[in-house]
Structure 1
């Protein structure tokens, strides 16, 4: 049994991670400022974990020794991270530094939830970890994209300077139960709009592509990465390499919600990536990991969840 800190633990991914850690009988401390997370996500765990409401941008409270730290604290959807872009950037960079200092003080190995957004609007397709990206450093998405790139820089500098054990994964589009119905992401948008008999919002011509990974698969990748040898630092792509256009996704959502809601087209947002697909060879070889849940199965599970929370 390990003592583990999960920052952002009341969020979509964090709460699923804590579920798995509790199943493994670890002692878990969840730290979250509840900016985008929700206590509802961890309500079923309240007697099994310690919850601390705190913002990692601020000096961390006095905490006991940890064996492992998972840093998942940061708003991850454009609607949320653009609402306060300065705070988003501070969460990624200052927050990462605070977490790294804690890991340095306690000797914990530390995990960074990075993102495929570090690749920006990629000129290389699909994206390997060796690709440095094509990122607008001053656009409306830059607070998140460049913030996460800066966090990766800090993680590697701490590893080189202080021999800290680091683990970095780059997360590609993930979906599943406990997504925020108002987060503006395409999967949640389409499902909620269909369930409420509203037109599905499609940006641009709908031919831009994404690769969708079900949350259970992603969390398994997290755990395998944290359990890997010290020499495995990443960054490693975690995502489902099966690529779909937004129009194909809309068709599947309408099929599984048994609805015929029309599509409503809007202008493509600034710097919105045209293509996003991971190369997961490193995850296959190093972690023996590959996603198992295909999109149709994952959508059905996610739709059932949203039926219970959307009026």
Structure 2
């Protein structure tokens, strides 16, 4: 089991309980981290949706970023030697990517927000309607099909107060999504102390003249699942060479085949392993990791020492 220490504040405890107040430990595993990494973030949506090979490359690059950048020590996640030796620009990209992936992991496990998609993919004209270039990166969706605003920051060193303040301000730039107010506005920061830690907050107010995002659930789901639309056997076999197998739930397969999410429903509220060894996630994605390539013991070593 992996462990991530986090501090949460400003969430209503009457709704979310003590798990979102104060400092706690989030239990997780490599399956969940890889799932979070490959299902969140900005991408070239046109190419990814059109060609299965680009989807495969995207998934591979995100998975390998996790494999090469992190190692575990006593269950906690630390920077690998590869990460530590990167130049500042490379570290910036990795910390940005980790910030989004770990934020996805946290809001899924703590808040049942299992979908997280980049704002620009949902509505690529949003930036032209804003009076400020500062806006949140991500829009989430919970199991009740309510929208959530998320700004995810990543830092390669310690907690950065200025970054957290900026993240909170960015969550206030959007007022409504599909004419509805988001039920949460989440500012999240992933950073490294001795190990990887997270600060997660729920800012409440919005700024004057905030943006209204036009979208709908079908568009949202189409963009979120775009990376999985054209994965054929050839691409899936390529992923297996990296120790990763991907499958889809029956409900998700039907929705993608029909290109309609009108009747799409989730099969479960939390991840579980099926009889074939796949970890099944609430968004319908299933992931199996090779027990050697992703072995707990191997991932305690530096990348260059893993067999």
TM-score interval (norm. to shorter): under 0.3
Higher relative contact order (CA 8 A, sep 6+): 2
* TM-score, normalization by structure 2: 0.25
* TM-score, normalization by structure 1: 0.24
- Quick check: which one's strand share is greater? 2
